[in-house]
Amino acid sequence: MAIEEREGEKSLSKLVSIIITTLNEEHYIEDCLKSLKNQTYKNREIIVVDSESKDKTVEIARKYADKILVKNCIIPVGRNIGARMARGNVFLFVDADITLLPNWIDTVLPYLNEDKVVAVYGDLFPKEGTLKAWLEYGKEELSNFILRTAKIPCFGKLGTAVAIRRDAFEKVGGFSEKRACCEDMDMSFKLRKYGKIKFVREAKGYVSMRRFERIGYLKLSLLWFFSAIYYILTRNALLPVYSRNYP
């Protein structure tokens, strides 16, 4: 399918290209896109790469996105396609079930101007206001705190909403298209060879806890844990790379 592109030009100076991959996200994509349209930073373009959704995802995306491409592909392939469609010098990769506070982009951009910082991600809270959702969130936060204290990086928040400098993204060759999972972890390893990845707590957003509620916290955590172990073992990656570049 040809690229659908909204008319109108954006200034290429400090243009932020927001890239979202979707598959049957009609229940979440509109809130996500509204939060991106409502950003106080206005020099941005929104790109949606949809993997042939069977619901109303594309129909909803047309109301907000500047560019849309429909192509059956896995997430890392879709993100790379979006990056090739992008014109900005900063890429913001966002999951379809994420909503960001209006000042998110304005909050993270100054950090990307710091020496050796190649990517920035922020804090996420559960969308659902149920006690169960907050308990699951608390468990994840505790795990992340332990990992950060031990100088072992955590990937969950980075993989759901992260701003990456275009030059760094292109230098590492984008996302690995051979990986159906752990693509965020792989990107972290590659980026940290060239610079630092910054966690900015003031950059806040909300994430759906649907996977935790559908699969269960323990089962999902174990799935992520063993996927991460498998990735590290098969990639023969070294953790000291993280220690040097983890904020």
- Label residue 245 by pLDDT band (50, 70, 90): very low
The count of domains in the chain is: 1
128: domain CATH number? 3.90.550.10
Q: Are 190 and 173 in contact (CB under 8 A)?
A: yes
Question: DSSP letter string over the chain?
Answer: -PPEE-S-----TT-EEEEEEESS-TTTHHHHHHHHHT-S---EEEEEEE---SSSHHHHHTTT-SEEEE----HHHHHHHHHHH---SEEEEE-TTEEE-TTHHHHHHHHHTSTTEEEEEEEEEESS-SHHHHHHHHHHHHHHHHHHHTT----HHHHHEEEEEHHHHHHTTSS-TT-SS-HHHHHHHHHTTTSEEEEEEEEEEEE--HHHHHH-HHHHHHHHHHHHHHHHHHHT--THHHHHH--
Query: What's the CA gap between 122 and 108, in Å, rounded?
Result: 8
Per-residue pLDDT tens over the stretch 92-149 = 999 999 999 999 999 999 999 998 999 999 988 888 655 555 555 665 665 566 555 5
Per-residue pLDDT tens over the stretch 156-205 = 456 689 999 999 999 999 998 876 666 777 888 889 889 999 989 999 99
pLDDT > 50? residue 242: no
Residues constituting the chain: 247
Q: How far is CA 35 from CA 68, 80, 185, 194, in A?
A: 18, 23, 26, 31
Q: How far is CA 7 from CA 68, 133, 196, in A?
A: 12, 41, 36
- Label residue 247 by pLDDT band (50, 70, 90): very low
Query: What's the CA gap between 3 and 211, in Å, rounded?
Result: 31
Whole-number pLDDT of residue 221: 59
Whole-number pLDDT of residue 203: 96
Q: Are 91 and 19 in contact (CB under 8 A)?
A: yes
Range of the domain at 221: 4-245
Per-residue pLDDT tens over the stretch 1-56 = 667 777 665 555 699 999 999 999 999 999 999 999 999 999 999 999 999 999 99
Residues whose CB is less than 8 angstroms from the CB of residue 34 and which lie 6 or more positions away in sequence, other chains included? 64, 99
Query: What's the CA gap between 43 and 10, in Å, rounded?
Result: 7
Query: What's the CA gap between 74 and 16, in Å, rounded?
Result: 23
